[in-house]
Amino acid sequence: MASRASEQDLTLVTVPSPKRGLREGEIALPRGSVTAQAGLLVLDKPQGRTSHDLVAAVRRLAATKKVGHAGTLDPLATGVLVLGIGQATKLLTYVVGADKTYEATIRLGASTITDDAEGEVTAAAGAENLSLAQIEAGIAQLRGEIMQVPSAVSAIKINGKRSYARVRAGETVELAARPVTIHRFEILSDIETQQLEDGVTVQDLKVLVECSSGTYIRALARDLGEALGCGGHLTQLRRTQVGPFTLADAKTLPELAQAVSEDNEAEAPQGLQTLSLDEACGRYFPTRPVGEELKDLRYGRPISRSNLSGVVAAQDDSGHTVALIEDRGKYARPVYVIDPA
């Protein structure tokens, strides 16, 4: 079994079938010898894999079925994917709503059915006459609080069926616009002009987007192209941050597989290492020390108000998070008791 693989060599991380074994460029995922510590795992998602693929891989590495993710990334996309393991899966309800940061490449001059490079081109008007001033003006219209229509080829359910499944079945899908907030939308480098094989001239711009949860970067590319009258779609997407969790926290699957292989050979295996519940809660939520009311919290009883906005991590004297609480009326009430009596 190959235990190491560079990102360039890695085409698939998988558990090989006994009938076919490993193909070139694949590595086998070892199964963890003990269940991983409950906590959050920040993964650097590779291109071409679905978020579900990554959850399945980590279930094997962590030796537990209790793994979930805080918001999907398209197969085209790479970067920060926050996973919860064990008890920490209950934290994902809150992490999924965090603001996110992306670096992306938008191609102006052509539209696709999926609003990204994975779909067939539906129109190619070209963008050779667009000026930087026009592009900047188009971007300015998409900053702040806007109403965005999600991409039709998305995982949104319509009467119980995924939107992308309806599109692929030949149905015409019209999704309702929803409010999102674009905190930043900026061009990162010089715009590249190039001519495609069919002679159409397009312009590629690398952008930085900071946005609220629920924003579709593909839809931003589409809407910018429509505003400029030339069409547009996404060709690259990398998520660099989810809330306080960044690429600096992230591990790749080959790194995790190597760590688990080494752990399995240790005399006292520790399991897949994660951001502990205490560390994850301390980084993501405002914190409040709790003294004499600690016993009440452990029994799920309300305590005095925190006078802090939103969900708060209630901690004991050692910094251990006992519960997540939220002010409701005259009291702070536990919404999740992490360490009950």
Does the active-site annotation cover 198? no
Pairing outcome for strands 144-148 and 157-158: unpaired
Maximum Cα interatomic distance, the chain, rounded to a whole number of Å: 74
Distance CA 311, CA 12 (A): 39
Contact 88, 40 (CB under 8 A): yes
Pairing outcome for strands 12-14 and 26-28: parallel
Distance CA 24, CA 15 (A): 14
Distance CA 137, CA 219 (A): 17
Distance CA 10, CA 277 (A): 31
**What b/e sequence results for 161-173 when a residue is b if at least 16 CB atoms lie within 10 Å of its CB, and e otherwise?**
eebbebbeeeeeb
Distance CA 95, CA 69 (A): 9
Contact 187, 135 (CB under 8 A): yes
Catalytic residue among 9, 44, 53, 74: 74
Contact 31, 16 (CB under 8 A): no
Q: List residues with catalytic annotation.
A: 74
